[in-house]
Chains A and B, each alone.
Chain A
């Protein structure tokens, strides 16, 4: 059943059915009530979550207090993955993922993933490759955005500060 759930997720599309089955076995279904934190900013973010149903908000705390909404994710528009960086890195989460209503998800814990890596399982390496490529693309894109903004500021052009901010926020990697 979990394998079928993973089948509809773009993040896992490149895996064979057998490999998805391996992840299905390594994962566990989890449910959250409204207003619960799936991932908490600053805390160790040890799992990848596939959001199966419900909606979440991604928020980043502000130094002056309060928080900023970075994204709203509605799983009914397509199952989405959050927390993938936590499978590879150890730094704390850079934003909070909070449920809006009831949320059903599948959790792949880092320990399980690392064990699969230790065992040399191709499925785990394929997922690492996928995550690494996603991170590399995001890093490259952010760099280009900033260079573009610097050039616009230098030219004293009509730099649309709000548009720049929105582009930086887009595709935030929790």
Chain B
């Protein structure tokens, strides 16, 4: 595997200049995961941000006891663990490798230190993460609006069925 990933191929690093990418490349440690291996486990520590350079991962959340919902399938090049950087370092969902995955990790604490020191590279990275979250928020707002409309139907007496509503909620919610 390559010791240094080409961060220019990863969307959230695209707007960093060469020096800034080099700053991250120095910090990134290569790591690989086998198919089926869990990278993050829901509810446990999420202390690292991983840049995935090859392979595919699935994101799951425990929604009901004994059942877990697949929320997304992410393909390289992508980044996981970015929410832990901005909120608590606790994984809100599990992430599992579905193929062999080549990745590079960087500790959350390192990134936070860089942010505290006003590192332009870290600041730009967070700006790009923020832009993706702004778009995600827009999509979530639409989902929430849809859920609320269905709840209103309940109040109006035109409600389908609690089970149907629940299943739609599970499916529609993108998390």
Residues of A near any B CB (own CB < 8 A): 60, 62-63, 68, 85-86, 88-92, 94-95, 117, 120, 122, 125-126, 128-129, 131-133, 135-140, 142-144, 146-147, 149-151, 153-154, 156, 159, 161-162, 164-165, 168-169, 172-173
Which of B31-39, B96-104, B165-173 is found at the contact surface with chain A?
Answer: B165-173
> Which residues 39-96 of B sit at the A interface, judged by CB distance below 8 A?
61, 63-64, 83, 86-87, 92
User: Which B residues are in CB contact (< 8 Å) with A165?
Assistant: 148, 151-152
Residue of B at shortest CB range from A125? B123
Q: Smallest Cβ distance from B161 to chain A, in angstroms?
A: 10
**A164–B145 Cα gap in the complex (Å)?**
13
- A62 contact set on B, CB distance < 8 A: 149
- The answer to whether A125 and B155 have CB atoms under 8 Å apart is no
Name A90's contact: one of B135, B144, B155 (CB within 8 Å): B135
10 extra A-B contacts, CB within 8 A, seeds A122-B123, A153-B169:
A88-B131, A89-B138, A91-B138, A122-B118, A140-B92, A143-B61, A143-B175, A146-B169, A149-B169, A162-B155
Q: Mark B130-146, 1 if CB is under 8 A from A, else 0.
A: 11011111111110110
Q: Is the CB of A168 within 8 A of B134?
A: no
The reply on B10 being an interface residue by CB < 8 A is no
Main secondary structure of the interface of B (DSSP, over half): helix
Interface residues of B (CB under 8 A from A): 61, 63-64, 83, 86-87, 92, 115, 118, 120, 123-124, 126-127, 129-131, 133-142, 144-145, 147-149, 151-152, 154-155, 162-163, 165-166, 169-170, 173, 175
Task: List, in ascending order, chain A residues with CB within 8 A of B130's CB.
Answer: 88, 128-129, 131-132, 135
Q: Identify whether the interface residues of A are mostly helix, strand, loop, or mixed.
A: helix
Closest to B92 in A: A140
Given known A136-B86, A165-B148, A165-B151, contact A150–B64 (CB-CB < 8 A): yes
Specify the chain A residue showing the minimal Cβ separation from B61.
A147
B44 to A: closest C-beta gap in Å: 15
A169 vs B140: C-alpha distance in the bound complex, in angstroms?
Answer: 12
Asked whether, in the complex, the Cβ of A150 is within 8 Å of the Cβ of B126, the reply is: no
Chain A residues closer than 8 Å to B141, beta-carbon distance:
94-95, 172-173
> Is B151 in contact with A129, judged by CB distance below 8 angstroms?
no
- What is the CB-to-nearest-CB distance from B126 to chain A, in angstroms, rounded to a whole number? 5
